[in-house]
Structure 1
């Protein structure tokens, strides 16, 4: 999965940065995000716009911090964690990989459901087809180049579908803007869940690890960190806002969203059976991009020894096992809608832990080098996010226990 030297030389750092940007962005707007956004929009209406706004702000702070720390140090996040406290990297890896695995169940299931909507294939058989396609993409020659291009094409498909849905609905823009900045109610569970589903867990590391494995590292490449991170954040944010507005337009008509598949209801109400088919295409694209993102990033957290000659063969087998196991479990649990919402919340709880570890690493000269100084504004805002997400996470746990 790691790019060979010959391939890395052919691809410019900017090219790799754009691949990283789209991998991060599309990992963030998978089936989990579709389900979470539809669920909370149905429950909260325009007030959910506040959670979206918080998510975008948190996204900017988290991604700029994590990408920069990983690229300047030239080390994967789990290696940095081990250098902060010996053994901490293994704990971080376990948290990320477990969260990524459960999200991947929903990703594969989402792609299978997309094929079901489009062609009438059973969701189980659709999941098998999607899993086989994902495995092939990772195992072909120049795999990461192929993965990057596939993710970018699917991103364009997502945007075009949402543009169409917004064009055929009446969107209450004024209400959305007003409640996004001045909500009448604040639901911490929705904030933790949507942040966890879009920037928590494995997602926050996908872009940084993708850049690193594309051969981009060191202080001299910080400009590519900024360009890649901001591009990815922009793409993901546009899709988030568009989906929220589409859902709000449907909810404001008085339509009730089906709890078993709330996102599908939005498209069906908005554009009938044609819209439902578009939803199937969107769900397939979302499932595939998130499967690629979660698999790549989760497996990168199992990589501690890059000098082994059988490194590529080992990673290939782990990729196959990761995707195959996710697909098998989908057969057992069926519809992953509830799982995606709960795992999103859990990923939101992981975020303050993971970000705190990297912020500590950013201040260690033995890790980052004596000449590098992490920007104070990134440290300051980073710790604010850590404290806010920890607080929101505790509020969420207390509300669940009650």
Structure 2
């Protein structure tokens, strides 16, 4: 058959009506990229939305009332500034944070990795504790059994043949589930939305300490790098992906902010009605007052979902700081993640809860990790274009990042008080 008489192939469909392999591969490639971007976005968001996030939001809402809306707005704006720069530098360079740190300061990557892994390990014990409490509220399960079963579920995800795809899909599904359920509770609690909107921009009073606490809780420690490292591991890096990287990082922070705003409104509706939340478990108390006994079970589902996704995020991101230092660890990455989860579970089962001293220390270290890691990345953006493949870093983004870094230095300085408190 001559070339002119040959059947034509168009739009990925073969002449016999079947799928064209090249078109199919192209479609699969686009589908993989979309799935990876969505997974990275939700991994960052759900890593931030853990048991501490839920308790913190509830307690601060009960304390500040509608004025807490202003703190949420400021924390989201700072989060955007931090994550836009973290994702841009790591995404364009195609190198993880510890590798960039080693290029800037020999050995610096090892120090950063040690800090992130320690903080991630301690908080992972707390995350497993959150799954245990969630299972107890959800179905009355024994705390230790609930924690063990939840850890086994997380282990099963990382042992699956397509662990990366499984992680992406699980965090997306559970993230959306949490948003839908909290939206329902916010609607049922009937919060004073108009007052909350007014105080978002014109607060009766602002508590800067609470604002700094929110920022540290949503972009501190391993959370800073969760989404960006997942993006690199998915093979999406380089200057040609800048638009996707920017859009995905911004959306991830917005998802976190939306979840916090919805949770804030749900609790605000309860406390605005004059209810005093139980000191032992403020979030569970708020949900129970809003929906009765059903609210307690719903709270269990939300807490479990928030905690299991944080177990996945903490384990995945912490191990991503270890594997680049050893080819053996890189080849057995999923097994290392499994070991990380098993160790966290063992600590939880032995102590029954996260040791308070370790939590204080890990929280203080997270406050120190943020300016250290962000400082390295901003140095790369400003002084090391060679690590960015000659990419010209936008000046407006650099200024925004440096301003955020100055703030994180202040937060880090304040976190030193947490370390000092351990010895008082």
TM-score by length of 2: 0.86
2:211 to 151, 166, 191: 191
Moved more, 343-352 or 239-248: 343-352
Which position in structure 2 is the counterpart of 1:275? 295
Are the equivalent residues in 2 in contact too, given 1:188–1:396 (CA < 8 A)? no
Whole-angstrom distance in 1 between the partners of 2:45 and 2:306: 11
1:284 aligns with 2:304: yes
**Structure 1 residues 328-371: Cα deviation after superposition (integer angstroms, max 9, x where no partner):** 2223444559787885565244222221110001121232223x
Whole-angstrom distance in 2 between the partners of 1:168 and 1:374: 46
2:107 to 70, 79, 87: 87
Change (3 A) 1:341 1:186: farther
- Measured on the aligned residues, the alpha-carbon RMSD in Å equals 2.6
**Structure 1 residues 6-38: Cα deviation after superposition (integer angstroms, max 9, x where no partner):** xx9585323211111111111111212101111
1:164 to 184, 198, 217: 184
Whole-angstrom distance in 2 between the partners of 1:50 and 1:122: 39
Give, in angstroms, the shift of residue 40 of structure 1: 1.6
1:41 to 58, 61, 82: 61
Aligned positions, number: 395
Are the equivalent residues in 1 in contact too, given 2:381–2:393 (CA < 8 A)? yes
The structure with the larger Rg is 2
Which position in structure 2 is the counterpart of 1:321? 339
Whole-angstrom distance in 2 between the partners of 1:202 and 1:183: 32
Change (3 A) 1:395 1:201: closer
SS at match of 1:304: helix
Are the equivalent residues in 2 in contact too, given 1:103–1:343 (CA < 8 A)? yes
Change (3 A) 1:218 1:256: same
Alignment of structure 1 residues 92-131 onto 2, 5 Å: 92-131=112-151
Are the equivalent residues in 1 in contact too, given 2:189–2:267 (CA < 8 A)? no
Are the equivalent residues in 1 in contact too, given 2:364–2:416 (CA < 8 A)? no
Are the equivalent residues in 2 in contact too, given 1:25–1:233 (CA < 8 A)? yes
Which position in structure 2 is the counterpart of 1:356? 375
**Structure 1 residues 39-89: Cα deviation after superposition (integer angstroms, max 9, x where no partner):** 222222223222211221011111111111011111010000111111111
Whole-angstrom distance in 2 between the partners of 1:230 and 1:25: 11
Which position in structure 1 is the counterpart of 2:349? 331
Give, in angstroms, the shift of residue 216 of structure 1: 0.8
Which position in structure 2 is the counterpart of 1:29? 49
Change (3 A) 1:233 1:137: same
1:177 aligns with 2:197: yes
Change (3 A) 1:161 1:310: closer
Are the equivalent residues in 2 in contact too, given 1:18–1:231 (CA < 8 A)? no
Are the equivalent residues in 1 in contact too, given 2:159–2:335 (CA < 8 A)? no
2:388 to 353, 364, 368: 368
Structure 1: runs of 5+ lacking an equivalent: none
Are the equivalent residues in 1 in contact too, given 2:40–2:231 (CA < 8 A)? yes
Change (3 A) 1:305 1:390: closer
Whole-angstrom distance in 2 between the partners of 1:24 and 1:211: 10
Structure 2: runs of 5+ lacking an equivalent: 1-24
Are the equivalent residues in 2 in contact too, given 1:260–1:337 (CA < 8 A)? no
Whole-angstrom distance in 2 between the partners of 1:91 and 1:61: 24
